[in-house]
């Protein structure tokens, strides 16, 4: 299917900031299930925007705005053609061997409770594909989706203990449990097309696990499914910090306010 995305982020400063720096992972790459038909990044002010690749192979941009700056509007728009590959990712850029993705990070570190949970789900099974699917369903049953419960720095253990979180938290718990079970797993940031819900508040996050004889396979514990043609993949990494669509900082004594407008729809809907 063809998915059209418009993602606008507005930064406002209570007092003019001296300068602002942003690191953007907002440009998707193609693979066998995803073709980028058009994609563009615009900024409404004088800015330096440099394209590069990070060490995972994600397309990244560094954005520098010299002050004084009161507002920055960042607009991303494009169209992606996707196909359902049963969640299997082929033809993507791979910079590290799969064993690299057994590394835990501060955001994905497990604890005794997560380890016990993972062992219960495994139940003695050693089939990685069965384990990956079982974790997907079990985490969705264990955690409640709550947009007000956590923040970007919430760890897997904090979210698991609290019993609720957003897609980022579901994914971090998945990574912690999968890696404990010896399954290489990584974080994915992107977009999820929801038929009938073009206006959304934020992008989406899910996991990919490495399965022998299949390769990397997508699993979305927040929705209990493998990725379909409704998913648009932006960036990957060990955790949220590696794949966050936007990260940055500003210099000055002002306060920053953030407003996001996101529209995801099929190209057919957009033309209707």
Kindly report, residue by residue over 37-67, the tens digit of the pLDDT.
999 999 888 888 899 999 999 999 998 988 7
Q: Bridge partners of 2? A: 81
pLDDT (0 to 100) of residue 255: 78
CATH fold group of domain 2-81+246-271: Immunoglobulin-like (2.60.40)
Looking at residues 239-245, what average pLDDT do you find? 95
State the pLDDT confidence band at 21, using cuts at 50, 70 and 90.
confident
Tell me phi and psi for residue 52, to 5 degrees. -155, -175
Domain boundaries, the chain: 2-81+246-271, 85-243
* Helix segments in the chain, DSSP class H: 112-122, 128-142, 156-162, 167-180, 240-243, 267-271
Higher pLDDT, 219 or 124: 219
- Going by C-beta distance under 8 Å and a sequence separation of 6 or more, which residues neighbour residue 233? 28, 29, 31, 34, 89, 188, 190, 218, 227
Q: Which CATH code for domain 85-243?
A: 3.10.620.30
pLDDT (0 to 100) of residue 15: 84
Kindly report, residue by residue over 157-194, the tens digit of the pLDDT.
999 999 999 999 999 999 999 999 999 999 999 999 99
Q: Could you tell me if 27 and 74 are in contact, meaning their C-beta atoms sit under 8 angstroms apart?
A: no
Residue 70 CA: distances (Å) to CA of 203, 248, 253, 259: 25, 16, 12, 14
Looking at residues 241-251, what average pLDDT do you find? 86
- Going by C-beta distance under 8 Å and a sequence separation of 6 or more, which residues neighbour residue 45? 65, 69, 71, 72, 73
- 270 pLDDT more than 60: no
pLDDT (0 to 100) of residue 248: 78
Q: In angstroms, rounded to a whole number, what is the distance separating the alpha carbons of residues 78 and 73?
A: 17
Q: Which of 109, 225, 215 is nearest to 167 (CA)?
A: 225
DSSP secondary structure string for all residues of 88-149: EE-S----S-GGGGG---TTT---HHHHHHHHHHHTT---HHHHHHHHHHHHHHHSEE-TTS
Q: In angstroms, rounded to a whole number, what is the distance separating the alpha carbons of residues 6 and 36?
A: 14
DSSP state of 169: H
Q: In angstroms, rounded to a whole number, what is the distance separating the alpha carbons of residues 233 and 235?
A: 6
- Going by C-beta distance under 8 Å and a sequence separation of 6 or more, which residues neighbour residue 65? 19, 20, 21, 43, 45, 46, 47, 48, 72
- Could you tell me the end-to-end alpha-carbon distance of the chain, in angstroms, rounded to an integer? 15
What beta strand segments (E) does 178-255 contain?
Answer: 185-192, 199-200, 204-211, 215-219, 231-237, 246-251
- 272 pLDDT more than 70: no
- 16 pLDDT more than 90: no
pLDDT (0 to 100) of residue 84: 95
Q: Give the tokens for residue 135.
A: 């974790």
Buried b (16+ CB within 10 A) or exposed e, 158-178: bbbeeebbbbbbbbbbbbbbb
């Amino acid at each position: 299917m063809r998915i059209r995305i418009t993602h606008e982020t507005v930064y406002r400063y209570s007092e003019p900031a001296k300068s602002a720096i942003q690191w953007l992972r907002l440009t998707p790459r193609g693979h066998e299930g995803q073709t980028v038909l058009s994609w563009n990044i615009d900024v409404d002010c004088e800015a330096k925007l440099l394209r590069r690749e990070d060490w995972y192979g994600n397309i990244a941009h560094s954005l520098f705005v010299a002050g004084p700056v009161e507002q920055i509007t960042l607009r991303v728009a494009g169209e992606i053609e996707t196909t359902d590959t049963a969640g299997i990712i082929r033809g993507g850029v791979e910079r590290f061997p799969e064993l690299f993705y057994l590394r835990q990070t501060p955001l994905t570190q497990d604890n005794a409770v997560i380890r016990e949970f993972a062992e219960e789900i495994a139940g003695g099974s050693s089939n990685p594909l069965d384990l990956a699917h079982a974790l997907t369903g079990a985490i969705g049953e264990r955690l409640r989706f709550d947009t007000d419960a956590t923040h970007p720095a919430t760890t897997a253990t904090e979210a698991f203990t609290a019993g609720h979180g957003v897609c980022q938290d579901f994914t971090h718990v998945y990574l912690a449990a999968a890696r404990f079970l010896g399954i290489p797993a990584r974080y994915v940031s992107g977009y999820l097309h929801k038929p009938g819900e073009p206006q959304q508040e934020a992008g989406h996050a899910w996991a990919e696990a490495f399965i022998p004889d299949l390769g990397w396979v997508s699993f979305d514990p927040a929705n209990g499914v493998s990725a379909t043609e409704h998913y648009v993949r932006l960036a990957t990494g060990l955790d949220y910090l590696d794949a966050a669509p936007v990260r940055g900082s500003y210099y000055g004594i002002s306060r920053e306010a953030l407003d996001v407008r996101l529209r995801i729809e099929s190209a057919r809907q957009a033309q209707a």
